[in-house]
Amino acid sequence: MAEKHGHKHAPMVEEISDFEALEIAVRELAIEKGLFTAEDHRKFTEFAEHIGPTPAGRLVAKAWLDPKYKKLCLEDGIKASLAVGVDWLKPTGFGTPSDYTDLRVLEDTPTLHHVVVCTLCSCYPRPILGFQPEWYRIPNYRRRLVRWPRQVLAEFGLVLPPEVEVRVEDSNQKCRFIVMPMRPAGTEGWTEDQLTEIMTRDCLIGVTLPKPGTTTNLKLPLHRAVNPAHH
C-alpha cells in the first residue's frame, strides 16, 4: 500500500504486486494468442492518456454563449461533442467499447439541479470527461446519493435551498450524462476560455456549481498510487 502523506513513495521491497503480475500476464497472453495486437493496446492507451474533463467544460461554456449550440447540446450530445474536439467514434471506429455513444446534457434551471451517479457500476462519459474520480466508483457514493442526495451534496460543499429540486440521474450502460449548470453571476462578458476554466469535473458531475475564481475541483485529500497511471 502507498503511504498516505503525499510525499514520494519509497517501496520497501523491490517486487511487483499480485495485480501487476496478473496485469502483465493477461496482457501478454492476449497478445501472444492474437486476441489483439500490441499496437491495438498502444493505440488505445494513447487515446486513454489524452482524455479529460476540458472538452465537457468547453461544451457547457460554448452553450452558455451560443443559444443555437445549446439547443444542439440538449438535442444531440454526441454531435455537439464534435465542436469541442470529441469524436465519440474514436479510437476504434465504433467508439470505446464500454462507453457507447449516447451523451445527454442535463440542463439546470433556477428550480432544478442535476447530479450524476451510476448506482450499478461507475458508468461515466469518459471520452468527453476523462476517468472517474475514485469517489464516484465506490459503493458509498452510489448507495447514498440516490437516498440522501442533499446530504451528500452538502458534504461536497453544495447546500441547495429547499425550493431547488435535486434530480439524481442514474447512468446506465447505454447512456451517459453531464450537467449543464446555470451560468453563474459575475461572468458577464467572459470569453469561452474563461468560462471553460470554471466548468470543472466536479461541476460536470453536479456535486459542485461553477463559481468565478474557482478553476479546480474541490480540494480533497489525495491517496497516491505506488506506480501512478499517466492519465
DSSP annotation of 175 reads B
Residues 220, 179: Cα–Cα separation, whole Å: 21
Q: How many residues does the chain have?
A: 231
Q: Is 81 a catalytic residue?
A: no
Options 66, 76, 119, 187; binder of other proteins; rule CB under 8 A:
119
Does the annotation mark 118 as catalytic?
A: yes
Which position has the grid cell 502523506? 5
**CA 101 to CA 93: how far, in whole Å?**
11
Q: What count of other Cβ atoms lies within 10 Å of the Cβ of residue 13?
A: 5
120 binds other proteins (CB under 8 A): yes
Site string for other proteins, 2-31 (x = CB under 8 A): ------------xxxx-xxxxxxxxxxxx-
Name the catalytic one among 73, 123, 171, 203.
123
**Cis bond upstream, residue 91 (ω within 30):** yes
Looking from the CA of 70 toward its CB, the CA atoms found within 13 Å total: 15
The one among 64, 88, 124, 156 contacting other proteins by CB under 8 A: 156
Asked if 102 interacts with other proteins (CB under 8 A), we say no
- Can 175 be counted among the known catalytic residues? no
Euclidean distance between the first and the last CA atom of the chain, given in angstroms as a whole number: 20
- Tell me if 41 contacts other proteins by CB under 8 A: yes
Where on the chain is the footprint of other proteins (CB under 8 A)? 14-17, 19-30, 33, 35-36, 40-41, 44-45, 48, 92, 96-98, 100, 117, 119-122, 131, 133-135, 137-140, 142-144, 146-147, 151-152, 155-156, 170, 173, 217-218, 220-231
Catalytic residues: 118, 121-123
